[in-house]
Amino acid sequence: MFPRLVQRLRDTGSFRRPKRRRRRNGRTEENIINVLAYIEFDRHVGTRTLSLDLGIARTTVRNILKDYRLHPYHIVLHQALNEQDFGNRLNYCQWMLGMLEENINFLTKIL
């Protein structure tokens, strides 16, 4: 143990172990180009599918998207109005107008 401490002191000037730095090998130029090309081809792809298809970690995909100010979500419409909804919308508007008239009449009686 002591020879190792002496050697470390000679090499680094300190008794502390040098910090191990992680190598960022995920954001290579090739991976960045692949992710951006995939997004350009299909804007509705998720990060999970993207990482599986390209063989890149999901965090790397998210970081690449973040670097290029792209957002890892897509819009999905769950509700929409159809032509059949016209009658319902008209009934709602008439109901709302009636409620407003009742409230206005009530307020004018009080004041």
Residue type, 12: T
Q: What pTM value is reported for the model?
A: 0.49
Mean pLDDT, each 10-residue run in order, the chain (111 residues)? 84 79 76 93 89 92 92 71 84 93 87 75
Model pLDDT, residue 78: 67
Model pLDDT, residue 75: 66
Model pLDDT, residue 10: 86
- CA nearest neighbour of 43 among 33, 51, 35: 35
Model pLDDT, residue 74: 63
* C-alpha to C-alpha distance for 89 and 95, rounded to whole angstroms: 10
